[in-house]
Structure 1
Amino acid sequence: MYIPTSSYHDSLEEFWNGDKEPEEMEAVIKVVHSAYHHYLDVFSKVKAEKCPPHSACDHNIDLEESLTPVGVIYSLSNQESDTLRAYISENLEKVLIRPSSSSTGEPFLFVKKEDGGLNLCVDYQKLNSMTRKNKYPVPPMNQLLNVFNGSSIFKIDLCGAYNLLRIKEGDEHLTCFRNKDGIYEYLVMPFWLTNAPGSFKNLFNDIFYDLLDVYVVVYLDGMMVFSKSEEENVTHVFTVLARLRANSLFAEASKCLFNVSSVEYLHYVVSSEGLKMDQAKVQKILNWPPPRNLKALQSFLVFSNFY
């Protein structure tokens, strides 16, 4: 069950204390609706980047067989080496990873970002294939249409999302990745593990068990609060933010939507008027360059067939 708000702080300054970052506070104040300024700490990126405490909802890795995966070590370009060093240094400082002596270990890949930078992704294909699957239901569209009918909506995206959940103590060694300089294991749940979405949903179901489908919908790495009026929505959001605070969970201020009547969900736009295609996705299909090879054609078909 959720942790009651036993450590309520009348002073925002007191709650941020040593973690207070004036520039961050100023940026959050500009984005977050004034009605919720008492909960600005819930939107703190500084706090969100710290290693969370263990809980009953820690992510466990239940292997179907006793074989241990050992990955290869790929050669890296200069840019990839720099990205890797920065990633390891940053996450060691945040205590999200630690050096490991595990006999397991997976390789990692780099995915290019729109700005030309690189994202590190651990290749857990082998580990995931050996893990017992925990299938979880995705809320059907018609459920959302029913609850959103005529509602004022507050959309919350979690900051750090899966990193807000710890790996079960004793399973950390199974998450390790190798490079030529060492082995590191995760203390928090990385995005690429199978069952990660299910563990995340279990955490939210545990915290908001009595509010689900009453005025809260949990989906993937976020949630929505729906109410029949803006006044009622503020009261509901207060309850949700208090529970996030009490459970050391944090929201991404720049991705939250305040008191809206429609919201993007799984590449669709859901509102009281029904289900609509996301026009940005439609425009992307219309502007798609003619495929010049089989791979390009497959990419186009996969994307367009979704609709």
Structure 2
Amino acid sequence: MESQFREVFPNDLPGIPPDRDIDFCIDLEPGTRPISIPPYRMAPAELREIKAQIQELLDKGFIRPSSSVFSKIGLRSGYHQFKIRPEDVPKTAYRTRYGHYEFLVMSFGLTNAPTTFMILMNGVFKPFLDSFVIVFIDEISVYSNSEEEHADHLRIVLGVLGK
């Protein structure tokens, strides 16, 4: 019987199926945000397999390359943008073979430096967090649905940084 209906039992699907009366639909709750998870670390053999599977799916037309509009802004010497209170400057003293020094600005490695920086960044970008901005210490990610919207978002973020 199988030999009479080979088209019903293909070894492999050749490409995109024909149009049907029903397409798969993905309904989202209002306000749902996209999920972004970094790729898992993989062994070289796993990476080769993934690459082969992706190529096969591309060749059959089952998937297509995707893109989203985003920018990542890394603040230059972010920690150095905070002055240390004068009475706390001596607490940062260190010595080298070339002399004794004290930091006048917050330094990377001070215990509360990341927390202090996050408090500032979250406060500055609070109106935009989870709308189109994500901050982590001195890294700012800006994401948008279109290039036009992204240009507007970048203007807002850069304007905030310029203050």
TM class by smaller structure:
0.5 to 0.7
Deviation for aligned residue 1:196:
1.4
Q: Does 1:178 align with 2:91?
A: no
> What is the one-letter code of the residue matched to 1:188?
V
Deviation for aligned residue 1:206:
1.5
- C-alpha distance after superposition, 1:140-169 (max 9, x if no partner): xxx88359xx74111101111211222233
> What is the one-letter code of the residue matched to 1:155?
K
The match for 2:77 is 160
- C-alpha distance after superposition, 1:199-245 (max 9, x if no partner): 11111112111111111100132110111111001101101101111
Matched residue SS, 1:145: coil
- C-alpha distance after superposition, 1:107-133 (max 9, x if no partner): xxxxxxxxxxxxxxxxxxxxxxxxxxx
- Residues 178/226 of structure 1: CA separation in 2 closer, same or farther (3 Å cut): same
The match for 1:196 is 113
The match for 2:137 is 220
Answer with 156-165 or 237-246: which moved more. Answer: 156-165
Alignment of 1:113-152 (within 5 A): 145=35, 151-152=68-69
The match for 2:7 is none
Q: Report the number of matched residues.
A: 103
Q: Does 1:244 align with 2:134?
A: no
- Residues 241/213 of structure 1: CA separation in 2 closer, same or farther (3 Å cut): same
Q: What is the alpha-carbon distance in structure 1 between the residues aligned to residue 143 and residue 80 of structure 2?
A: 26
- Residues 151/176 of structure 1: CA separation in 2 closer, same or farther (3 Å cut): same
- C-alpha distance after superposition, 1:163-197 (max 9, x if no partner): 12222332111111123554211111111111211
Q: Which has the higher contact order (CA 8 A, sep 6+)?
A: 1
RMSD: 2.5
> What is the one-letter code of the residue matched to 1:154?
S
Larger radius of gyration: 2
Unaligned runs of 5+ in 2: 1-32, 38-66
Matched residue SS, 2:134: strand
Q: What is the alpha-carbon distance in structure 1 between the residues aligned to residue 147 and residue 97 of structure 2?
A: 55
Q: Tell me the percent identity.
A: 39
> What is the one-letter code of the residue matched to 1:202?
I
Q: What is the alpha-carbon distance in structure 2 between the residues aligned to residue 144 and residue 168 of structure 1?
A: 42
Q: What is the alpha-carbon distance in structure 1 between the residues aligned to residue 157 and residue 85 of structure 2?
A: 26
> What is the one-letter code of the residue matched to 2:119?
N
The match for 1:291 is none
Q: What is the alpha-carbon distance in structure 2 between the residues aligned to residue 206 and residue 192 of structure 1?
A: 22
Matched residue SS, 1:187: coil
2:121/2:137 contact within 8 Å kept: no
Q: Does 1:206 align with 2:123?
A: yes
Matched residue SS, 2:86: coil
